[in-house]
Amino acid sequence: MEILLKGELQVGGMERDTQLSTQFRNIATIVMGKTINSETKRPYSVGMIERLMREIHFSVDPHDKPKKQAIQVIRELQKHYPIKRTPMRLKLVVPEESLPFLMEKLNAWNAEIVSQDEYGNQLVALVCEIAPSLFRDCDALVRNYHGRVEILAVSVHFEKDANVDYYDGNEDVVEPCHHTAELDVIKLSERLQKQSISTVNDGAAEKKLNAEVVEVKLNKCNTCHVFILGDIKQYREHFKSEWHKCNVRRKTRQLPPLTAEECALEDTVF
């Protein structure tokens, strides 16, 4: 009985690895939801965050909270990679006479002004995006000017809101690829040209290369962030796949796309 009351639970090696792997994934997911690429203003995928975490040799602490560890990961990643906290979108309502002082402070904080409108009764409404770490300072400043702060979005990943009707009714724009898949096009062209070699002079042993130009068309799926090789029929088949449907659902929730393998794994888990 004393062992049951004071003893510790012994966990097997495989079970421990599974728990650490799950917690590692959870931390990466939290980091993904709280950060964006400081250069492109777009979120990283969970897979990319996991790779970056491995590159900085991050090890999971099974006894610490995932959210706390995620904050530590973000601070460490910022030392090596173009990554920053996802900004908050706020609506600041202040008197007109306080606007110049507020704008000066927002510029010092590198806040991005989204819109500015008159609010009535000599008030001005500013919609801005600001780092989460500056929220308390911003709130105190606005209250000092006898204004108020409204939180429009805790994290901003995209410029426009996502909704199911928009993505269901609008397929991704077809964009030809000229540079990204250049190597694949060259390899495919060489293979097709080799197949076009034919004999000449009534069965002579000499062969010549057919000089026909092989045109390869690549269509881009902006939802899955991949290029579809083939004709329009294969391109439309991609839109009917479970992979594309999975990423459409993620896009409506403002989540980054997954690979086909990750989507299959997600469907298996859920």
Q: pLDDT category, 90, cuts 50, 70, 90?
A: very high
Specify the range with the lowest mean pLDDT, choosing from 84-98, 208-222, 256-270.
208-222
- Spatial separation of the C-alpha atoms in residues 11 and 256, rounded to whole Å: 34
pLDDT tens-digit series, residues 116-160: 888 777 899 999 998 888 999 999 999 999 999 998 888 776 544
Question: What's the Cα-to-Cα distance from 106 to each of 98, 113, 119, rounded to whole Å?
Answer: 12, 8, 19
The mean pLDDT value for 35-49 works out to 86
Q: Which two tokens stand for residue 76?
A: 């460490």
- Topology (CATH level 3) of domain 12-84: Arc Repressor Mutant, subunit A (1.10.10)
Give per-residue pLDDT as tens, 210-259: 444 344 456 778 888 787 776 777 778 888 888 888 888 888 777 888 88
Rounded Cα distance, 229 and 184, in Å: 10
Instruction: Look at 120 and 114; give whichever has higher pLDDT.
Output: 114
Give mean pLDDT, residues 17-31.
88
The string of pLDDT tens digits covering residues 52-85 is 999 999 999 988 899 999 999 999 998 999 988 8
List every span in the chain annotated with CATH 1.10.10.900: 12-84
pLDDT given at position 27: 92
Handedness of CA 22, 28, 31, 33 (dihedral sign): negative
User: Token pair 């896009």 is at which residue?
Assistant: 251
For residue 93, the model assigns a pLDDT of 92
Higher pLDDT, 22 or 265: 22
Q: Which CATH number fits domain 87-153: 3.40.1210.10, 2.10.10.90, 3.30.70.240, 3.40.50.300?
A: 3.30.70.240
Every domain range in the chain assigned CATH 3.30.70.240: 87-153
pLDDT in tens, 164-206: 333 333 333 333 444 444 455 455 555 555 554 444 444 444 4
pLDDT value of residue 180: 40
Between strands 88-95 and 123-130, the pairing is antiparallel
pTM of the prediction? 0.47
Measured in Å, how far apart are the chain's first and last C-alpha atoms? 39
